[in-house]
Amino acid sequence: MSTATDLADRIRYVLVRTSHPGNIGSSARAMRTMGFGRMALVSPQRFPDREASALAAGADDVLEAAVISEGLVDALAGTSLALGLSARRRGVDLEEITPREAASRALAAAARGEQVALVFGNERTGLENEELARCHAMVRIPSVDDFSSLNLSQAVQVMAYELRVAALGEVAAPVRADAELPADAAQMERFYEHLGQMLDDIDFHKGRAPTTIMLRLRKLFQRAQMDERELRVMHGIFADAQRMAQIANDKLKGGRGG
């Protein structure tokens, strides 16, 4: 199974024609806080630049590893899924999806071993129609209609956050070598049979039908998802309860006989 790091390594953030080097640095910081490190720059106006380094706030590894290309085609080399961020609806026949949908789609592709690109346009003009046409879908952050322009690094942060949250949900926690699997259906049926016998032996039902309580107890123990070790403990408790009930019954009978 892919780890969160594996998935992050297959996702690149492509910044197209960035005007201000500070936005490159801020975007690197946004990426790094969410575990991403692959940045591609298409014809940046100024880079490398001290302002970019200053606003990266320590995410220097992202800036140092950034790949610079003259055109978007080169920046997308090797990717099989490109998602373009745009604040405005444009005259391009392209599917429009939310950041959350984009994150889900990007992670699914990365989990299959594919390379994915998130494409962000120039701060003032955004992505041109020709650039959006090279993307498989357009991602719109659902901001208010009368003030929809996010700063470039803010848009990067939104996507990085959505991807991080989605990745944490998709990647299973590692299983300890000594961890036991939940008991299987056959083991649980034997457990319920023993539970029913024990409740009868201690006269728990007191003449009432056992159906309702047994259904409730089944739901309770199904939620618990006990493993084999825990089942053995419960069987031991039931056996002791049955033994004590038998002793009490024997004493009662003995008392009557005397």
Q: Alpha carbon 247 to chain centroid distance? A: 54
Q: What per-residue confidence (pLDDT) applies to 126?
A: 92
What order do you get walking across the sheet with 81-85 strand by strand?
67-69, 39-42, 11-16, 116-120, 81-85, 137-139, 96-97
- Which one-letter amino acid corresponds to residue 160? A
Rounded-to-integer distance, Cα 208 and Cα 202, Å: 13
Tokens 């999806």 correspond to 97
- pLDDT one-digit tens code per residue, 199-217: 999 999 988 888 889 888 9
Q: What per-residue confidence (pLDDT) applies to 176?
A: 46
pTM as predicted = 0.66
Q: What per-residue confidence (pLDDT) applies to 175?
A: 44
Domains defined along the chain, listed by start: 4-168 (3.40.1280.10), 185-255 (1.10.8)
Q: What per-residue confidence (pLDDT) applies to 207?
A: 86
Which residue stretches of the chain have pLDDT < 50? 172-177
Half-sphere exposure of 1 toward its Cβ, with a 13 Å CA cutoff? 9
